[in-house]
Amino acid sequence: MTNPTTSHQKHYWTARMTRCKEALEKNNFTVYLADTAAAACQIALETVIPAIRPGSFSWGDSLTYFSTGLPEILKQRADLRCVETFAENVSREEIMERRRQALLVDLFITGTNAVTESGKLVNLDMVGNRVAGITFGPKHVLLFIGRNKIVADTGAAMARIKHYAAPVNAIRHDCKTPCVKTGTCMDCKSPDRICNTWTITEKSYPEGRIQVILINEDLGL
């Protein structure tokens, strides 16, 4: 038997995601809806990637992207050159150089910290390689976005990031920042500060360069 609460929640989120999709499309993003992370992976493999036919790919840190299972699938493809920017046992200098190289790939994949109901992407980065890839460089960008990232407006997006996503990410990466203890942004001056570069992407330019898969699950931070 279907859980009525789950059914009601899914209906609610489907309606809200549909409105968000329409808003993003008005802002020149190409948007798909998926019920699950696995379904989002299939959209990427069967629709997005065949259409753009990339020769190289890389990604910015995104738990939502990792949850789809797509990273390992793409790494096994002989027709795709992978610029690996999260390799273990590699020097920090080499990782940073690879992140520069990642800005020249055909396909850059990541997530977003928040997406507004008016169809804007809001992000906050430590190093800046993730927001740089979204903004300029890679020929195509694919974003996986869980329903929990949808917020009312840019103010709500920034609040979500500063008071939830950033502190949890700081904890995740074992940063020595005040927010790890307080659970909220303290506008710190720590060397480990991860809140350094804000971006608000109001429209995709060129049209369709940024493709989005909205997923009807709570994913990522």
DSSP for 98-126, please give it. HHHHGGGSSEEEE--SEEETTS-EEEEES
Number of domains in the chain: 1
What mean pLDDT do residues 196-216 have?
A: 98
* Backbone dihedral angles phi then psi of residue 213, each to the nearest 5 degrees: -115, 110
Q: Residue 212 and residue 149: Cα distance in Å, rounded?
A: 13
Would you say residue 23 lies in a domain?
Answer: yes
Would you say residue 221 lies in a domain?
Answer: no
Confidence grade of residue 3 (pLDDT, cut at 50, 70, 90): low
Q: Which domain holds residue 30?
A: 4-215
pLDDT at 136: 98
Would you say residue 124 lies in a domain?
Answer: yes
Q: Residue 14 and residue 214: Cα distance in Å, rounded?
A: 10
pTM: 0.95
